[in-house]
A and B are shown apart, each in its own frame.
Chain A
Amino acid sequence: MSRRRRVRSSLRRCDGVSRREFVRVGGLTALGLSLSHLSAPGWSAEATRDTRADDGSSASFGRAKRCVLIWLDGGPSHLETFDLKPDAAKEVRGPFQPIPTRLVGEHICELMPRTAENMRDVAVIRSMTSPLGEHNFGAHYLLTGYKPTPAVEYPSYGAVMAHLRGEAGQPDTALPPHVAVPRFRVGGGKMSGAGFLGPAYRPFSVGGDPAKRDFQVRDLDFFPGMNAGRLDRRRRFVQALEQFQADVENPQPNNPITDRVNTGDPEFEQAYRLLTSPEAKRAFALEEEDADTRRRYGTRTIGQSCLLARRLLERGVPFVTVNNPGWDTHENAYTRLKEGYTGAKVPVGLVPSLDLAFNALIDDLRERGMLDETLIVVMGEFGRTPKLNTRGGRDHWPRVFSVAVAGAGIEGQIIGQSDAVAEGPSERPITPSDLAATLYHLLGVRADARLYTPDGRPIEINRDGELIRELT
């Protein structure tokens, strides 16, 4: 065998300075970066080009009009969901058996029969890899495509989508653009989700549990004694106070109060629109769904959350995070992942509940003709250790884990592989940054487009990520 064989097919980068960055450094002015550029906060559509593969021209660009992120908070075990190792030693393969799927020769966990049945519409990446094995860090990386740094908190997918929609003009719904069900508390709760885009782009947490009979969104129905007319007067009063303050700070002669059309406070205005729109509030009325539909999604919180997500998507919400906590299974994995509680006759643990909810969402969207324009992502902040620990659980493991994506015209397939004991990627390692580039591509956001921090620093939507070509 010749050792002089040259393999130049893929210029995959590791960390460090990539060649592309190197080119950038030299060609700074060619990229059109100038100070005048930097002063306008917000979004720059005429972003500069570089040597990235994604020029936004391929057919898959922007195929998804909306997205549901099913976030498995705590770090789901790849070995108990999408990446089983039946031939490995007992302490690696764990308690569950693989079952065949609609993809010939591909198996997933026996606790996910509906997903197995739907696999022609589900792509599973088995070679996700990250160096960050701590909840906050991992969640930040997976939800933003950027590793966390002290210099800046990057915005999550939902905040970016919300921001872009805000830039595109007044939406035709009063619903907030990024809704978290039941609440956005991820990776230990240190992430606001909005990053440098600021509090206005925080996800809206509905607060209540959609699986509860008396579910309602906190503080959404008019407080007793309130009505639209009175709220309108209150808004005028706040507007007057803001105007008084502005006049003091920036005196203008004869500045009449009526000049202002609103309070000038985007968050207040958003709350006001939501409170005064009966149509928007109806999105949360799960009781409008028939009993069969509700049952189909499963009675657990994750199921009813996915159902609520579908109602929100239908009404124009571009991004919904279904946040499902509890996947940090350091101990008692068998009970927590399968049964839900010891001795359950029908398993209602994390994995069966996910299986129900995820596939009900796929089927429902397909039946409504929405699946091809809706992206569904199932992931958590990392995987779990290849070996079971002494407490019957697995610990944090970011070196390889699985992510599932569906909808948006994606074909069912397995992408990448882990090694024999699911310890590292053996083929086609994919980073959270690559995933971000791909998800943004599908959602119609160019990776090299720029966001601006409040002080005007330009930040690319994604840096270093390479498109996952199987998905685009």
Chain B
Amino acid sequence: MNRLQKMARFNLIVILISLSLSAIAVGVLHFIVRQPIQRALGGFGFIGICGLLGFSPLLYKKTPGTVSFDERDLLIQRKTSLRAYSIFWFLFVLAAMAPFFVLGPDGAVSVKYLAAMVFGGMIIVMLVQSIVTLEEYGWRNKDNE
């Protein structure tokens, strides 16, 4: 696997672990511990594991003296970022318009909803970039060294 594939795989694993743990925590808190849903949503604290995403360029450093990035890698990187931003845009607009239609023009939303949109958007961008990178290169393709 090349550097971008390794980083994408790492990012994907971290995001899936954080989302899974969050979903399990919310489910356990709400259905087993019988917490009201507003308190059970505290289980989303496991999303903080996504902070590890910042370490992926440090874990998979560029090897000095070798060419690790060519035109194909550049094209793939452009494709992944375009797709990630396209999906982010679509979901962000949906999330922004939904309260307006559900609550009406005179409704109000909590500022926490904005924060959820921001963090959710970042996670979606990283998730889609990782998936598309691995799709383009191949999930296990060793010919990309």
A joins B in a complex: no
- Listed in ascending order, the chain A residues whose CB lies under 8 Å from chain B are none
- Listed in ascending order, the chain B residues whose CB lies under 8 Å from chain A are none
